[in-house]
Amino acid sequence: MFNLQAALPQDLPAFFLTLCLVLLFVLLAELLTRKFSVSSLVVRKIIHLSMGVVIFFIPGYFHSNFYPALAALVFLLLNMLNIRFGWFGSMLALPEDNNSQSPAVKSYGSLLFPLIFLLQVLFLWESHKWILQTSMLVMGVSDSLAALVGSSVGKKHIEHLTKNPKTVEGSLTMFLSGFILLSAGLLVFSKDFSGGLAGKSVLMLLALALLLALVATAVEALLSHGLDNFFIPLSISYVLYVLEMNHTILLDRFLIGGLFAFLLAVFSIKVKFLNNSGATATFLLGTTIFGIGGMAWTVPLLTFYLLSSVLSKLGKKRKAKFDLVFEKGSQRDAGQVYANGGIAWVLMIIFSLTNEPAIFFAYMGTLAAVQADTWATEIGTMWPNPKAWLVTTFKEVPVGTSGGVSVPGTSGAFLGSLFICASAMLMHVQWLYDFGLLQSFLLIGFSGLLASMVDSFFGATVQAQYFDPIREKVTERTHSIGPDGVVVENRLLKGTPFVNNDLVNTLCALSGSALAYTVIQYVHLF
């Protein structure tokens, strides 16, 4: 951590040299963009690359983390002021990193770069400098190369990934350069391994580098506006840290989990369960849960994913008449993956750092919640001659209306929750048996059922609903497309514009996990 007493006088020259070097880079960038009309993207990414290299060597020039952390704080403050006042335009107005044709936007990468460096200096300096060096090098070099290649020679955009399309050429550059740097880093620093990575063969380390390069590429592909500057090194550091420090997580299991997640993502695209963004997010989520959690955590997640995906495809003709009501179709995107699996993802990460058994019950609760919500919607709309009532007033409403509940849908919600618990029972999770079979089924079942009611309540009160003037129907969609192809903005009828179905689903998932976790904590089982 940041320790004032750890400040050493012999680090002062390196500190001032670092400050001067970075300031020189910034001034040079301004000169090149203003006087010589060099592309701001090219200048910024060259500086970005250079800073990644500089940071790689910083631990060799400082004896403590005081001055590196202080330097990060200085540049964090300067970048905040720059974003506010726009002193250095070359650091702000840029095209998106991996796209050759997107418009200029304000990037927050210059702010997130020193922030993630500061966090890593505080938490990794004492025992895992090599993780800091490796992750920041990949972010600095590979991300920059991806942007330069994507903006200069990128021709083939990846559809349905982000609003600002990424290119195949840029992503491939990110992957190949990341693999080379990660391979070199793991092999060079292997003598510093003292935990779960110690003694691993060269082949295993290369396989880990391959998987981490794919993870970094997926993170870069999904994020824009400089967010990848933060999450690329964070994702690499997290994986390397837990593999080193958590001895229950085995490298071979993590690699197999990553491979399975990749195959699942490809399969999901082929059968149209997910679009490209959804498959990419599923790969990242699956790598974490499959690779770190093992079968006990994997099987319940797969139970939700497969059963809910299949159910969404059944009765498609019957559900077609409700299609206008829903914001999105049956092919899920990254937003829906985050909404349904994001809380489970976070809980897996927390468990990997704490090993607290109660987190597993929270995990089961959140999966039961999203399973219940999905089953309530799918079964409620597929049921012959269904009737639905608004959860707040119990007035009859059209099936598919946000906040509407029905007897078949509610029954399906509870049944779906029980399936989640049963899938974990099949894996003989000892924590569930310690709590009791019946008690576990009731806890997980009602966590899912009550969470689906929470979803319905928010859907009826704050979720945005619009009027489609073309088809004269109430919908969750903000825009509609007319027969002539013209996009028409729908009129807000009720709710808050930013509260969409994905946010409501996230609140549903959070409530299911909170209920299960609270009960386990109350009974003091662990």
349-373 per-position pLDDT tens digit = 999 999 999 999 999 999 999 999 9
User: Of 98, 385, 320, which is closest to residue 217 (Cα–Cα)?
Assistant: 98
Residue 319 confidence (pLDDT): 57
Contact between 509 and 455 (Cβ < 8 Å): no
422 or 91, higher pLDDT: 422
Does the pLDDT at position 292 exceed 70? yes
Contact between 416 and 372 (Cβ < 8 Å): yes
Same domain, yes or no: 96 and 211: yes
Does the pLDDT at position 209 exceed 50? yes
Mean pLDDT of the region 300-318: 81
State the chain's mean pLDDT as an integer.
87
Residue 261: inside a domain: no
- Measured CA to CA in angstroms, residue 98 lies from 221, 407, 486 at distances of 8, 49, 29
Using the 3D structure, point to which of 198, 228, 245 is the last residue of a domain.
245
Provide the residue range defining the domain that includes 192: 4-245
Same domain, yes or no: 228 and 368: no
Residue 83 confidence (pLDDT): 81
Q: How many CB atoms lie within 10 A of CB 245?
A: 16
Query: Percent of the chain beyond pLDDT 90?
Result: 56
CA distance 39 to 100: 12
Same domain, yes or no: 233 and 369: no
- 436: phi > 0 → left, psi -120 to 50 → alpha, else beta; which? left
Does the pLDDT at position 101 exceed 80? no
DSSP 8-class letter at 274: B
Residue 490 confidence (pLDDT): 84
Contact between 367 and 526 (Cβ < 8 Å): no
Same domain, yes or no: 343 and 238: no
Same domain, yes or no: 241 and 342: no
Q: Which helix (H) or strand (E) holds 97?
A: none
CA distance 191 to 41: 38
Q: What is the pLDDT of residues 405-425, one digit of tens each?
A: 888 889 999 999 999 999 999
1 or 102, higher pLDDT: 1
Q: Which amino acid, one-letter code, is at 83?
A: I
Residue 179: inside a domain: yes
Same domain, yes or no: 241 and 343: no
CA distance 418 to 409: 14
Mean pLDDT of the region 381-388: 76
Same domain, yes or no: 215 and 356: no
CB-neighbour burial class of residue 270 (10 A; exposed 0-12, middle 13-18, buried 19+): exposed
Residue 168: inside a domain: yes
Q: Which amino acid, one-letter code, is at 100?
A: S
Residue 104 confidence (pLDDT): 44
Q: What is the pLDDT of residues 502-516, one digit of tens each?
A: 899 999 999 999 999
Same domain, yes or no: 356 and 235: no
Residue 291: inside a domain: no
Using the 3D structure, point to which of 245, 267, 289 is the last residue of a domain.
245
Q: What is the pLDDT of residues 430-467, one digit of tens each?
A: 999 999 999 999 999 999 999 999 999 998 888 888 88
Does the pLDDT at position 6 exceed 70? no
Residue 330 confidence (pLDDT): 54
The pLDDT-based confidence of 86 (bands split at 50, 70, 90) is confident
CB-neighbour burial class of residue 409 (10 A; exposed 0-12, middle 13-18, buried 19+): buried
C-alpha atoms less than 13 angstroms from C-alpha of 408 in its C-beta half-sphere: 14
Give bridge partners of residue 106 from the DSSP assignment. 93
Same domain, yes or no: 353 and 241: no
Residue 355 confidence (pLDDT): 93
Residue 482 confidence (pLDDT): 72
Residue 154 confidence (pLDDT): 75
The pLDDT-based confidence of 128 (bands split at 50, 70, 90) is very high
Residue 223: inside a domain: yes
Residue 389: inside a domain: yes
Q: Which amino acid, one-letter code, is at 325?
A: V
Does the pLDDT at position 177 exceed 80? yes
Same domain, yes or no: 231 and 343: no
Same domain, yes or no: 8 and 117: yes
Using the 3D structure, point to which of 245, 260, 290 is the last residue of a domain.
245
Residue 258 confidence (pLDDT): 97
Residue 512 confidence (pLDDT): 97
Tokens representing 335 are 């937003």
Same domain, yes or no: 94 and 205: yes
Residue 133: inside a domain: yes
Does the pLDDT at position 288 exceed 70? yes
The pLDDT-based confidence of 243 (bands split at 50, 70, 90) is very high
Mean pLDDT of the region 143-172: 85
Q: How many domains does the chain have?
A: 2
Residue 471: inside a domain: no
